[in-house]
Structure 1
């Protein structure tokens, strides 16, 4: 069983007095080792580069002609799609561990029930930081820069950091939901479909890749108000230094919805595990 050998020394019956901090550390190391071995961390480097190659190169001239700097325009969606890949990986790891009986073993070990969740969350945070670092490097490679207060009427690095903080919080909430979906899903295959398709469809039907005016008029309402477009708007306004509560409010409420969904899914898992 995956995880048994790595955790037996501190988590097994032979050492029932292991401190929660030790148990947490063992599970974090186990998870990080696993994502290095299965190549997931490598994909965090490659995925932003693939997005830039697939969209920036063919659409740059078209969008620039409309009046947008496409490198600046594309930055929010590259960052958001990068963290969505992390969420997909979190769901798959959780689902595979459930299929292999790892979660069931952890429940009978002498440790607090919250330790595995904390360990997975720390692992996801590490992956989010890696993905965001890679995404930011790719954005700078294609020409993105913080909007200068002197030249661009922007907020500089302070605005860019606010935009990145928004991405980090959204990525963490999405990873929590994905982890919970992995816990309650019956198979890893079902998990991958539940995560990949919504994020892919919402990403493509958003204002992250092309301006709203490029969509057919009949779909403008959906494209403008769906969560990915709202996040893109918040990030752009943060970089411009014009972010207000009225603009931020929809993203805040969408985030509360993600948090509530994660809580509901974890409650379902706990109830199912108690049977």
Structure 2
């Protein structure tokens, strides 16, 4: 029912033929009539993506365990890192550990939220929902676009909430409004790249595949080996180049620089390279895998 309602809302089903008491016949509004767009048009893609984004957000809000995992657990983790590691990191770096902990937890929240979205997509594929959406007269890219858009809304809301919580443990913006917006933009770029990568994996994996364990392990490795969890100098020498150049470290260092000052150019370049690389490697597999998943019998 959800899929059908979303499709009807997006396309604009209406009755065009005269009513026949014996044989009522609903007809689909054709392109060119008032308020109706061709299925492949940009206008149809935009309006239908908005409608389906609303559906995705509604599903997310109604999924209470995932909602708590995305909003409450990161905040509690941030407080835990501050209490357990705050003094040690502060002594090692000479800087309040909140400036590493808050960016770290923001990125971790973005990653684990994307894993939940990918798992839901894989489950919806196995139930046949993707196939039902695919046969509706809606733009072929609208549903996948809506999933990415809803992920970005989730990352934005989570980031703002975690920044507010971070204020309680000493996190402050000292560089002005522009850098503060830049910090949020880094979180959105990271969330978009990681989110599309997980969606590509979800639509190309077999229905019911163990996505959570594998992606959870990958995310945990990134979470515990970066400059937000511990100073780079605290890692073994042979590990430092890996830690310094994995995706999370330049993003955390860039977010820290936007908040409290520091070098920006090198980390901005690394974040741009990682984002572009993940998007380039994921967009085509996501589109192709979505089509295969929706049309599989």
Q: What TM-score, normalized by structure 2, do the two folds share?
A: 0.80
Provide the rounded CA distance (Å) in 1 between the counterparts of 2:91 and 2:107: 25
- Structure 2 residue 97 is matched with structure 1 residue 70: yes
| Corresponding residue number in structure 2 for 1:228 | 248
Corresponding residue for residue 167 of structure 1:
187
Contact 1:84 1:199 in 2 (8 A): yes
Instruction: Tell which deviates more after alignment, 49-58 or 105-114.
Output: 49-58
Equivalence for 1:130: 157
RMSD, matched Cα: 2.5
Contact between 1:6 and 1:26, CA under 8 Å: does it hold in 2?
no
Matches within 5 A, 1:1-275: 3-4=2-3, 6-7=5-6, 9-10=8-9, 14=26, 16-17=28-29, 20=44, 23-39=48-64, 40-66=66-92, 67-147=94-174, 155-269=175-289, 272-273=292-293
Deviation (angstroms), 1:271? 6.2
* Shift, 1:139, TM fit: 1.1
Inter-partner Cα distance in structure 1 for 2:120 and 2:264 = 38
- Range with bigger deviation, 29-38 or 185-194: 185-194
Q: Deviations over 1:143-187 (max 9, x none)?
A: 10112xxxxxxx234323212211111111211222222211213
Q: Are the structure 2 counterparts of residues 76 and 24 from structure 1 closer, same or farther at C-alpha, using a change threshold of 3 Å?
A: closer
| Structure 2 residue runs without a partner (length 5+) | 15-25, 30-35, 38-43
Q: Distance in 1 between matches of 2:87 and 2:289?
A: 49
Gaps of 5+ in 1: 148-154
Match for residue 40 of structure 2? none
Look at both structures and tell me which one has the larger radius of gyration over its CA atoms: 2
TM-score, normalization by structure 1: 0.86
- What's the offset of the Cα at 1:91? 0.8
Question: Retained in 2: the 8 A contact 1:64–1:70?
Answer: yes
Which of the pair is proportionally richer in helix?
1
- Partners of 2:166 and 2:265 lie apart in 1 by 27
Given that 1:6 and 1:30 are in contact with CA atoms closer than 8 Å, whether structure 2 keeps it comes out as no
Cα offset, 1:228, TM superposition: 0.9
Q: 1:46, CA displacement in angstroms?
A: 0.6
- Name the CA shift for 1:9/1:157 in 2 (closer, same or farther; >3 Å): closer
